[in-house]
């Protein structure tokens, strides 16, 4: 069954966040780089960066949907556990200590207040990491093992949105 043209015309950005020289913190970038090598669609763009706050807001402007892949270190979950978050579950702050240190929720709230065309739907995939401060390239074994799970989650979500999504090795189809 075809999706309505209005749904098909929606642009999606997939963003991998992190720092590839800070051990496990690079998992978002590694994952999105791998997905970008496998997936093609004229309405899907890929970015990987170490941005936050206002700079991240700049990347989101003009897209209807966004998928963000990042690391998280809470100490509450096993290292390598993949979780899905909705942007609405993130807390924003009313007072800023610095305009360089705002979180995603605050940046999105500001974008909406300024009537910027920010995504109406944002899905965030995170993986619990062990080390996001040591200067070292590459993730630990548990975090590296989560990369294929993150890839699959993102590709499945894109496949649900775009029935004509091209995935290396063939065209993805969803049920």
Tokens in use for 87? 């942007």
Q: Residue 112 in contact with residue 99, Cβ under 8 Å?
A: no
Residue 87: pLDDT over 80:
no
For the chain, the distance separating the N- and C-terminal CA atoms, rounded to the nearest angstrom, is 10
- Between 3.40.50.10190, 3.60.150.10, 3.40.50.1450, 3.40.50.970, what CATH number should domain 5-171 receive? 3.40.50.1450
Burial 96-106 (b: 16+ CB within 10 A, else e): eeeeeebbbbb
Residue 6: pLDDT over 90:
no
* % of the chain with per-residue pLDDT over 90: 65
State whether residue 66 is helix, strand or coil: strand
In this prediction the pTM is 0.85
Residue that is written with structure tokens 């642009």 in the block: 11
Q: Region 14-32: what's the mean pLDDT?
A: 94
Q: What is the largest CA-CA distance in the chain?
A: 50
């Amino acid at each position: 069954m075809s999706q309505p043209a209005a749904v098909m015309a929606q642009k999606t950005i997939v963003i991998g966040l992190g720092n590839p020289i800070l051990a496990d913190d690079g998992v978002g970038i590694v994952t999105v780089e791998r997905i970008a090598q496998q997936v093609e669609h004229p309405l899907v763009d890929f970015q990987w960066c170490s941005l936050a706050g206002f700079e991240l807001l700049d990347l989101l402007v003009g897209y209807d949907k966004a998928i963000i892949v990042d690391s998280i270190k809470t100490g509450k979950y096993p290292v390598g556990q993949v979780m899905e978050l909705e942007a609405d579950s993130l807390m924003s702050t009313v007072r800023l200590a610095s305009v360089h240190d705002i979180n995603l929720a605050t940046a999105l709230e500001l974008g909406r207040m300024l009537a910027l065309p920010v995504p109406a739907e944002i899905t965030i995939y995170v993986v619990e990491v062990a080390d996001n401060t040591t200067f070292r390239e590459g993730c630990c074994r548990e975090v590296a093992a989560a990369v294929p799970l993150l890839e699959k989650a993102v590709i499945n979500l894109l496949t649900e949105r775009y029935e004509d999504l091209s995935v290396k090795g063939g065209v993805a189809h969803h049920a």
